A and B are shown apart, each in its own frame.
Chain A
């Protein structure tokens, strides 16, 4: 999906209002600069492309962040503000699993979320 036509200002507002706090809560106060593998993004479309990939697709030993609160809010913001973005399709079984169990926060996932925070910060500057 090409994120060029998204409403970046509205997504940024949603990030400041709700997504940032959910990411911060997930990291539980741990400084996201404690990890060493850095990721850059150049401009808003590039940042959203990388945010989408890390948030909704398994990465580097972290099988799924898609059920986390920040991911659900990210999905809502992108679906609303990016024309034609289909987003994360939550089928019923996934929805039931979401309510029953949420994957324990592994260090691998925290590493991915710290990269997400860097991307979101860059996107919002």
Chain B
């Protein structure tokens, strides 16, 4: 592959492997530019293409989540990434829930309502791209670390749900 700002051609140094097969290549990028690449099976070139790097964007995970509690709602914020047209997804569940619940926003300022602040909650966040602006060849970010919250305060963890014997 070669980037428009750099004449040298390089080989992928970090392949993405899925079910034992090469499924992609992870490239660090600090700015958007044209990437020309080829995919080959040995000496047999299967595809040659040039495209904006952002068409293959995998955003970085959200960091430094902040929590703003009031009565039965919490607003989760974090710093917006430099790219536009992203979707910030927050997932949450209490110790009594088996499934995560999701809420999305176009900025990292997402409010979830109907929560009981007495309960201990797990939260995690990730960033996705809008298909209308990036197409379908992008990846969602990895999930952020899970954060625990109870009574409006950070917790190291949420206690296991105790099952009372009948």
The chain A residues found within 8 Å of chain B, CB to CB, are 15-16, 20, 31-33, 36, 38, 40, 117-118, 121-122, 124-125
B127-142 with Cβ < 8 A to chain A: 130, 132-137
**Cβ of B84 and Cβ of A40 under 8 Å apart?**
no
Q: Are B133 and A121 in contact (CB under 8 A)?
A: yes
Interface stretch, picked from B11-19, B47-55, B90-98, B144-152, is B47-55
Bound: A122/B51 CA distance, A: 10
- By the criterion CB–CB under 8 Å, are A125 and B136 in contact? no
Q: Is B85 an interface residue (CB 8 A)?
A: yes
Q: How many residues of B contact A (CB 8 A)?
A: 18
Tell me whether chain B's interface is mostly helix, strand or loop, or mixed: mixed
**A125 engages B49 (CB within 8 Å):** no
Q: How far is the CB of B29 from chain A (nearest CB, A)?
A: 14
**Contact mask for chain B residues 25-66; partner A; CB cutoff 8 A; 1 contact, 0 none:** 000000010100000000000000111101100000000000
Assembly CA distance A33 to B135 (angstroms): 9
Query: What are the residues of chain A within 8 A of B133 when measuring CB–CB?
Result: 16, 121, 124-125
Across-interface contacts of B85 in A (CB, < 8 A): 124-125
Given A40-B34, A125-B84, A32–B135 Cβ distance below 8 Å? yes
Contact A38 B136 (CB under 8 A): no
Contacts of B34 in A (CB 8 A): 40
CB distance from A99 to the nearest CB of B (A): 29
CA–CA, A34 and B127, complex, Å: 26
Check: B100 CB closer than 8 A to any chain A CB.
no
